[in-house]
Every structure is written in structure tokens, then in C-alpha cells.
Amino acid sequence: MRPVCLITGASAGIGAACALRAASDGYDVVVNYNSDHAGAEAVAQAATDAGARCLIVQADVADPDAITAMFDQIDSKFGHLDAVVNNAGIVGQTARITDLTHDRLRRLFDVNVIGAILVAKAAVERMEPAQQGVIINISSVSARLGSANMYIDYAATKGAIDTFTKGLADEVATSGIRVAGVAPGLIETDIHTKGGEPGRAARLGATAPMGRAGTAQEIANAVSWLMSGQASYVTGTILTVSGGR
Ligand code: NAP
């Protein structure tokens, strides 16, 4: 029986790379997305070509009922869940503190923090009875750097994810569940265009010690290792993948 991995936000970017890597690592794959159905279909097709059984689930992770419905579908199709990559995330437009609105903060925290926590909760409910599982939360180096004059609210959501990763890891460590984070630096994906700055990864990536932005595949490689038995004694930690940033 192949293990099953849920990747939230798998229709593009880092999540898509993680889904394809999970498929080639031997997982069946749940491809979650919110709005990009064509992207999710393409990822699922590629994962199927790599030998995985796939389930595509549209669910806005900011909607608790949608999360419940997504896990119901996972239960029906697979009956078990072995790994989760809590990857779905958004940024706002470049802004200073004086530009931030309650609506923007609400949406950012609903998607990036509360959604990730509720997905992890539903995963633990399934993993604890099985006494095994792994949850990888996608953070950001912005949690450490703060992202002044760019998006300090987004950075704060990732700080929350780092704290949640440590707390959850400790809470479920004796249940056979490992929890870790991956903190990417600047990675070439469409998130920067969605945030109104298409050239951000190239521009700021050049300032990293390695002198370039990273790729989604380089993040998927780190996630794959953390999910694997090679990382069997790794929990509660955040692995920075940032070219030295
Ligand atoms: P991306 O290319 O914009 O992809 C984001 C993915 O998340 C898409 O599949 C999107 O799906 C999904 N998503 C967004 N809102 C969602 C929601 N409410 N419910 C479910 N899915 C949702 O972004 P990315 O660069 O790959 O980022 C992935 C993760 O890495 C995020 O957590 C981000 O904060 C983190 N990260 C990225 C960078 C970077 O430089 N790229 C750096 C540090 C951390 P739809 O399009 O279908 O809505």
C-alpha cells in the first residue's frame, strides 16, 4: 500500500513541485488548490504519470467547512493519511504598516496560519490512531527577517507558523508523528507577481550569499528529505533553504 501525502496549494509553485516529488518518492497524492483548477489538473496528471494515485480537491484552506469536506474525501478515497505539506499561502501587495487593513490581515492570517493549523489538526486526528505520520509546514525566512517595507504582516504569519511547528512537534512527538518546517528564501514562483512585484525573486535573490533565487524544486528536495526515513530523528525544527539568506 502506497503512503498518502496531502499537499495544500499544489496547483502551482512550491506545492506543485512537492506534489510531483512526493509522487516520484512513492506517495499517492492529494492535490489541493483554491482557484487554479487547470494547474491542479496538470499537476495531478504529471503525478499520475509518475505512478501515483491522485485526488484533486478544491478547498479554500481559510474555510473550516471546506477543510472538513476535503478530509472526508481523503478518508473515502484512501482511508489513511501519512504525510501533509502545509504549503498553501498568500502574500499581500507591497505595503507599509500604515497601508494595512483589517480585511487584508484577516485574509492573510486565515489562509497562512489558521488554515495551516486546522489542516494539521485534521491530519493529527488521523495520524495519532495510526501512531505515525509527518507534517511539514512551509514557513519563510521572512519570519526571521521581518520583511520591512514589503509585507510585515505576511512575515508575522510565518513567525506564527514557526512557533506552531515547534509546539505541535512537541505535542505529538510520542505519537509517532514528526513535525518540521521549511523556510524558503526567495524562490522563483508566481507568488511575487501575485503580490504585485514580478521581479522580486530575481532582484532580491541576487543579494543572497549564493547570488541567486532558488527554485521550487530545491524546496521540494528539502521537503522530501524531511518526509523520509532519513530524517527519522528530526522534529520541531525549521530547515532554512535560502542560498544563505
Ligand atoms: P504560488 O506559486 O503563488 O502558489 C501558491 C499555491 O497556494 C497555489 O497552488 C494556490 O492555489 C494555493 N493557495 C493560495 N491560497 C489558497 C487557499 N486559500 N486555499 C488553498 N490553496 C491556496 O506560491 P509559492 O511561492 O509556491 O508559495 C508556496 C508557499 O511557500 C507559501 O506558503 C509561501 O508563503 C511560501 N514561501 C514562498 C516563497 C517564495 O519566494 N516563493 C518564499 C518563502 C515562503 P490556487 O492558485 O489554486 O488558488
The residues of the chain scoring below 50 in pLDDT are none
Contacts of residue 122, Cβ cutoff 8 Å, sequence gap at least 6: 67, 68, 71
**Residue list, ligand 1 pocket, CB within 6 Å:** 8-15, 32-36, 60-62, 87-90, 111, 138, 140, 184, 186-187, 189-191, 194, 201
Beta strands in 76-198 (DSSP E): 83-86, 133-138, 177-184
Selected catalytic residue, list 27, 33, 154, 233: 154
Q: Give pLDDT, residue 21.
A: 98
The residue extents of the domains of the chain are: 4-241
Ligand 1 geometric centre to CA of 129 (Å) = 30
Which atom number of ligand 1 is nearest to the Cα of residue 40?
47
Residue 34, pLDDT score: 98
Question: 33: CA distance to ligand 1 center in Å?
Answer: 9
Q: 157: buried, middle or exposed (CB in 10 Å: 19+, 13-18, 0-12)?
A: buried
In degrees to the nearest 10, what's the CA dihedral of 222, 228, 233, 235? 60
Among this protein's residues, is 27 annotated catalytic?
A: no
Give the Å distance between the CA of 167 and the centre of ligand 1.
23
Q: Which of 57, 119, 189, 212 to mutate to test the pocket of ligand 1 (most atoms within 8 A of CB)?
A: 189
Summarised one tens digit per residue, pLDDT across range 196-212 is 999 999 999 999 999 99
The reply to whether CATH 1.10.10.60 applies to domain 4-241 is no
Spacing, Cα 174 to ligand 1 middle (Å):
31
Ligand 1, atom 1: closest residue by C-alpha:
191
User: What is the reported pLDDT for 242?
Assistant: 98
Whether the Cβ atoms of residue 216 and residue 187 lie closer than 8 Å to each other: yes
